[in-house]
A = this chain, B = another copy of it.
Amino acid sequence: MAVIKKKKGNFLEDFRVGHVFHHKVGKTLTAGLFNAFTEFDMTTNPLSKNKRYAERYGFRDLVAPPGLVMNIVFSQSVEDISENARANLEYINMRFGAPLYIGDTIEVASTVLGVKPSGREPDRGVVHVQTSGRNQDGEVVLTYERKVQVWKGNADATVTEATIDRVPEVACTPQLPVYDASRRYAELARLTSPDTYYEDLNPGDTIEHSRGRVVTTEHVALTAMLDNTSQVHCNQFMVDQNPDKYIGGQLIVFGGIPFNLCLGLSCPDVADNAVTDLVYTTGRHTAPIFAGDTVFASTELRAKRDWPERPDLGIVATTLRGHKFVRKGDAWEKVEIFYLEREIAVKRRSHYA
């Protein structure tokens, strides 16, 4: 006869370098979840919207956009890694592999790469993990490292500080259909922008994407749909009891939502002629988002280069930034909310239009 309240998630002292978490549950991408996310964010790449187009390009079906891939894999790791986190510090070397389709089932595992208590603040520290998601055929769809600041559960607990000797190598390369001129891609070229091919993107330019999108309380349902169990996104009573403890004194929008939204807002200007995102070398959330905020984005084109194996494509290195405006007296202050170094594989007009 007992009243039991089970511990959820891990605290700083629970992490051991080298340990591998096989995250529970797993997730089949239903057409419902695909719709909720793909269409939520104003993505305009026909590979994610137009089945006829995706099949013409040699994909099996509509392709999940990168923000949805990231959201699914990341959320599966939340309970074990960051249910008791204070802040997500950095995404590192996030790479895309097999395309993700409706009906695919994703299961996720994470390896602990490092544990480091804070020098100044005894109640927290940083956990460094590598997380990979695989589909039902064992193919990696996404792999990345992240650093997250995690609370200690017991102030007196001993934390085993360590760093892994060598980050495990995870084979993860984009699986793209081969280029095949007999597919007559140009017949469908009118479905994308005429000025977003590799030839059009000029390093040095910064594109301010014109559209904005308010985030409503829909964020609570979207986060639940992802199986993200972090309470700061959905437990209003917890926040109301102790608003000073929580940033802004209200429910914070899960970072995966502005991440997805910034990718979508940038799409018509830089990514509707991309065939895949390749890698996010580094990324971070630089300010929180709350219901009622309108999210905007810009893309800095940093560099571009040939892709030797794929003469039909080129690689464009960009920086994607998100921002919102916060009222200060009678004025509005522009606040950066998101920073992502992003490489994408973009079609060449010479081959596709």
Contacts and interface: CB of A to CB of B under 8 A. Distances in A.
Contacts of A225: 35, 39-40
A291 to B, nearest CB: 9
A235 B42 CA distance: 12
Q: How large is the interface on A (under 10, 10 to 19, 20 to 34, 35 or more residues)?
A: 35 or more
A175 interface: no
A223 to B, nearest CB: 10
Interface stretch (A125-133, A141-149, A212-220): A212-220
Task: Report copies per complex.
Answer: 3
Given A26-B52, A32-B33, A220-B218, A5 B205 contact: no
A1 to B, nearest CB: 4
Indicate the member of A190, A226, A332 with the most B CB atoms within 10 Å.
Answer: A190
A224 B193 contact: no
Contacts of A53: 26, 105
Nearest to A195: B6
A229 interface: yes
A348 interface: no
A164 B289 CA distance: 49
29 contacts: A2-B202, A2-B204, A2-B206, A3-B206, A3-B208, A4-B207, A6-B269, A8-B211, A8-B268, A24-B190, A24-B192, A26-B46, A26-B49, A28-B51, A28-B62, A33-B35, A40-B221, A40-B224, A42-B227, A44-B227, A50-B107, A51-B103, A51-B136, A107-B191, A212-B238, A213-B224, A217-B218, A237-B294, A241-B332
Interface of A: 1-6, 8, 22, 24-28, 30-36, 39-42, 44, 46, 49-53, 62, 102-103, 105, 107, 136, 190-193, 202, 204-208, 210-214, 216-218, 220-221, 224-227, 229, 231, 234-238, 241, 251, 268-269, 272, 292-294, 296, 324-325, 332
